Amino acid sequence: MNDAPAPDLIDAYLDELQGRLRGTPGDIRRSVVECESHLRDRTAGFLADGIEAETAARQAIAAFGPPETVAAELNRAHRPRAVRMLIAGLAGQAAHLVAVGLLAIGASGIVAWLLTELLGSRTVFADAPGTSYGAAACAHYLAVHPNARTCAQAALAEGRDDSLFQRAAAGVLGVLLIAGLWWWRRRASRRPLGEPPALSLAAALVGVAMFGAVGVVLTGYGVDRAVVNTGSGQWLSAGAVAIIVALGYASVGWRRLLSI
Amino acid sequence: MATRGTGRGPAEQLKGHLDLLLLSVLTAGPAHGYEIIGALRDRSDGVFDLPEGTVYPALHRLEAAGLLSSAWSEDGGRRRRVYRLTSSGAGALRAERRAWRSFSTGIGAVIAGIA
């Protein structure tokens, strides 16, 4: 004898309906709750008329319409909001990639500064041997760095300061952008907007490809500069940070893949 | 010559005017989907007995257009979404009613001549 309870027809109907629904998590949840409430009310109405339970559920479902028809109409009604969600999600992920890129540049500035402190400016920022500087450029470098004894020393100091300042500025911009995104996402999460997991996965893959490629190119260029006795630390610092960020994105992507 | 119908039942004909009918039902006051469908069926003496599940997408669309607003309410342990007409919805309903009266007057004048 089979003692398993009979499957609830309305639950089975709602499962099929939910499987066919597209849109924001909020729209889907709301639709299922409304449909269930309606079907249970309708079934209760039939039961009150003296109709047997299973027949009452079947009649309620028949009056409601096939799940594919109802789902198609609900999806059509929710499509504009779903499209808005997708566009907002794409913009958010793009802004996040830019912010991470700016933060990575800032981090490479810290690494470059540490290398400068440990190994000296020449190892990190020196121009290629034999580089010549114009008179006007030399005058400018020496005016900005009056303690430099030669034009080459002044040019090295100028290159180092400019590079560290620009990387620090990028890092500050990255922090501001990340803060802005955090505020925007907190605000958005109060509304029924979600983000498709596939979109997060795609963004992580883009991050791996983008930062990985940049990391390999910069590291390769840094090694090449080291071979010709030119300041390679500025390139190697940026390449190392880019590769670390790519590995971070790979880890995020893997977790997203497992959660889908 | 044999007389043939259009092949479109009341439910099919109703689809094009569903927004007008839903807005009209809600002039009586806020109601959830089940009540709205019941009112639609009762007021039309059962003529408008369309697939009930197709009313919810229409309600969601009207809400997205700003013609309705809605909120959850708890009743007998069951959550229901209660819809009410917004001021924009009331304005749209007035315009739809005028258009419908003009349309039905025209149709009535034509078919009266044929009958």
Residue B94 lies in a domain: yes
Q: Quick one: pLDDT at residue A89?
A: 82
Interface contact A77-B32, CB threshold 8 A: no
Higher pLDDT, A189 or A134: A134
Q: How confident is the model over B61-83, as pLDDT tens digits?
A: 999 999 999 999 988 788 899 99
| C-alpha to C-alpha distances, A30 to A24, A71, B57, B83, nearest whole angstrom | 10, 13, 11, 13
Q: Quick one: pLDDT at residue B16?
A: 66
Residue B93 lies in a domain: yes
Residue B1 lies in a domain: no
- Nearest-CA distance from A186 to chain B in Å? 23
Q: Quick one: pLDDT at residue B8?
A: 53
- Nearest-CA distance from A205 to chain B in Å? 34
Statement: residue A259 has pLDDT above 90: no
Q: Quick one: pLDDT at residue A187?
A: 78
SS3 A67: helix
- Give me the domain span that covers residue B65: 10-114
Residue B52 lies in a domain: yes
Q: How confident is the model over B27-56, as pLDDT tens digits?
A: 999 999 999 999 988 888 877 777 899 899
What do you get for the CA distance between the two ends of chain A, in Å?
A: 39
- Per the prediction, chain A carries an average pLDDT of 89
Interface contact B57-A77, CB threshold 8 A: yes
For the ranges A19-23, A94-98, A182-186, which has the lowest average pLDDT? A182-186
Residue B5 lies in a domain: no
Residue A232 to residue A214: CA distance in whole angstroms: 16
Mean predicted confidence (pLDDT) in A56-72: 94
Which residues of A sit within 8 Å Cβ distance of B?
27, 30-31, 33-35, 37-38, 40-42, 63-66, 69-70, 73-74, 76-78, 80-81
Q: Quick one: pLDDT at residue B115?
A: 52
What do you get for the CA distance between the two ends of chain B, in Å?
A: 16
Specify the pairing of strand B78-85 against strand B31-32.
antiparallel
Q: Quick one: pLDDT at residue A1?
A: 41
Rounded percentage of chain A residues whose pLDDT exceeds 70:
93
Mean predicted confidence (pLDDT) in A27-33: 94
Q: What ipTM does this complex have?
A: 0.80
Mean predicted confidence (pLDDT) in A146-171: 94
Interface contact A74-B57, CB threshold 8 A: yes
Q: Quick one: pLDDT at residue A190?
A: 52
Q: Find tokens 């479109």 and name the residue.
A: B8
Residue B27 lies in a domain: yes
Q: Find tokens 């997203």 and name the residue.
A: A256
Q: For residue A81, what pLDDT band results from cuts at 50, 70 and 90?
A: confident
Mean predicted confidence (pLDDT) in A47-64: 93
| C-alpha to C-alpha distances, B46 to A59, A66, A233, B14, nearest whole angstrom | 16, 20, 82, 12
Q: What's the CATH number where B47 sits?
A: 1.10.10.10
Chains A, B: CB contacts within 8 A come to 63
Helix (H), strand (E) at residue A157: helix A151-189
State the amino acid at position B6 in one-letter form.
T
For the ranges A4-8, A100-104, B20-24, which has the lowest average pLDDT? A4-8
For the ranges A130-139, A184-193, B27-36, which has the lowest average pLDDT? A184-193
Number of domains chain B is built from: 1
Residue B3 lies in a domain: no
Mean predicted confidence (pLDDT) in A247-253: 94
Q: Quick one: pLDDT at residue B3?
A: 44
Mean predicted confidence (pLDDT) in A168-194: 82
Residue B62 lies in a domain: yes
